[in-house]
Amino acid sequence: MKHLLEFVISANHTNAILISAPSRYDLMSNSCVNNGIETFNGKLRKSLERFGKGELIDVFSERNLFTKQGNI
C-alpha cells in the first residue's frame, strides 16, 4: 500500500483512480484472506480520503461470474 499512496501523492497533475481488491470466491467469505482484503480496501480508502487525492472504485462482482476455482 505504501507504493500506491506514494504514487497518488506524487501525481500532482494526474487524476489517480484505483480499483479495490476483489474478494476471493474460491474461499469462504469469512476466510482470513477475504478479511484481509476487506481490511486492505478500508485502509486504502481512508488513506485516499485523508490525502484528498485519488479515488477508489469498488469492485462488485457476483459469485456466479466465476468458475469453481475462483477465476473469471
Per the domain annotation, does 40 fall within a domain? yes
pLDDT in tens, 18-64: 899 988 877 888 899 999 999 999 998 998 888 887 888 987 777 77
Is 53 inside a domain boundary? yes
According to DSSP, residue 53 is labeled -
9 lies in a domain? no
Type of residue at 19: I
pLDDT tens per residue across span 6-31: 888 887 777 788 899 988 877 888 89
Pairwise CA distance, residues 41 & 21, whole Å = 7
Residue 55 located in a structural domain: yes
Domain that includes residue 44, residue range? 16-65
Indicate the DSSP class of residue 18.
E
Kindly state whether residue 11 falls inside one of the protein's structural domains: no
Asked whether residue 43 is assigned to any structural domain, the reply reads yes
d(CA 4, CA 69): 28
